[in-house]
Amino acid sequence: MLYKKVGVDIDKANEFVDYIKKRVGENIGLFGGLFDIKEIIKNYKHPILVSSTDGVGTKLEIARKMKNFKTIGIDLVAMNVNDIYVMKAKPLFFLDYYAVENLNLEISKE
């Protein structure tokens, strides 16, 4: 069975990844993230890495009804940063995961 037959368009997904790469850098697309903490840990007696995974929740429904997705990405990062701040930690990096039922390039680029 082909992916395309079940609604997965690899070519469209690759086009979206290329679009993002131009905006955030060439390290996108790797299967993991690397962050060198060597300099950071010098400032701490007992360094602990804090991470967060969060989503925008029902705000996506509001964006869909308003046909305005421009702030969803900002909100996504903000929710994760806030979760880290409440732990009295410093956000160091952001790992992405983009999942949609059907990839609409125009909405995704917005």
Going by C-alpha positions, the residue among 58, 92, 90 that lies closest to residue 75 is 58
Each residue's pLDDT tens digit, 8-47: 889 999 999 889 888 877 666 667 777 888 888 888 888 8
**Are the C-beta atoms of residues 91 and 80 closer than 8 Å to each other?**
yes
Residue 69: closest CA among 106, 94, 99: 106
The band of 80, judged by pLDDT with boundaries at 50, 70 and 90, is very high
pLDDT higher at 80 or 98: 80
**Predicted confidence (pLDDT) at residue 71 exceeds the cutoff of 80:** yes
The pLDDT of residue 30 is: 66
Average pLDDT for residues 69-77, to the nearest whole number? 91
Q: Give the integer Cα–Cα distance in Å for 69 and 72.
A: 6
pTM, 2 dp: 0.70
Instruction: Give dist(CA 90, CA 68) in Å, integer.
Output: 30
